[in-house]
């Protein structure tokens, strides 16, 4: 009899803990989605099914397409990774723009890059959302041709494409 009461109390405590956890996760801006897109072949890996940051129409999903844009010399490649990562190596000619330094950099970036210039923004690969966040910010500023190279610098470098330190 006493063990049944203990089991019921444990179930109630577990239910309250789950309700609390799911409620906090739901209202948190950094909450973990219960369903999401985890297939890297479909674009950037994201716990969100669809959000205002990941716009698939602005993604460059094939590294060869990104290389073709690079070879045309018409786009500015923008590195959204931390400065330390940029200094260790980046796409040749890329501009450093760590997304976490956005407020400090945006004015000088706008002065150096007209709004109609095509941008190819990248970070550390499909698991990294910094390039999507930066593309969204820059799009809001008026850069309507901001694309994201979803495979990022690691695949670019592994293909032997032009890099510099």
Ranges of each domain in the chain: 1-32, 40-164
Q: Write the CB contacts of 99 (distance below 8 Å, at least 6 apart in sequence).
A: 80, 123, 130, 131, 133, 134, 137
Where the chain has pLDDT below 70, the residues are 1, 30, 33-56
For the whole model, what pTM was predicted?
0.68
Predicted local distance difference test score (pLDDT) of residue 112: 95
Predicted local distance difference test score (pLDDT) of residue 95: 97
Predicted local distance difference test score (pLDDT) of residue 4: 86
Predicted local distance difference test score (pLDDT) of residue 50: 41
Predicted local distance difference test score (pLDDT) of residue 33: 67
Helix (H) or strand (E) holding 107: helix 102-112
The one-character DSSP state at 148 is E
In CATH terms, the fold of domain 40-164 is Oxidized Rhodanese; domain 1 (3.40.250)
Predicted local distance difference test score (pLDDT) of residue 24: 84
CA nearest to 97, candidates 130, 70, 129: 130
Predicted local distance difference test score (pLDDT) of residue 1: 61
């Amino acid at each position: 009899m006493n063990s049944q009461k203990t089991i019921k109390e444990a179930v109630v405590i577990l239910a309250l803990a789950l309700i609390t956890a799911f409620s906090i996760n739901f209202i948190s801006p950094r909450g973990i989605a219960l369903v999401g897109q985890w297939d890297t072949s479909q674009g950037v890996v994201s716990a969100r099914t669809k959000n205002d940051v990941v716009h698939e129409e602005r993604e460059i999903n094939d590294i060869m397409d990104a290389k073709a844009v690079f070879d045309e010399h018409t786009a500015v490649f923008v590195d959204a990774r931390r400065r330390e990562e940029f200094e260790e190596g980046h796409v040749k000619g890329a501009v450093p723009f760590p997304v976490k330094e956005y407020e400090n950099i945006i004015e000088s970036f706008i002065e150096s890059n007209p709004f109609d210039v095509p941008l190819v923004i990248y970070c550390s690969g499909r698991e990294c959302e910094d390039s999507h966040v930066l593309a969204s910010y820059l799009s809001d500023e008026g850069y309507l041709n901001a694309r994201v190279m979803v495979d990022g610098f690691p695949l670019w470098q592994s293909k032997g494409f032009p890099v510099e330190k």
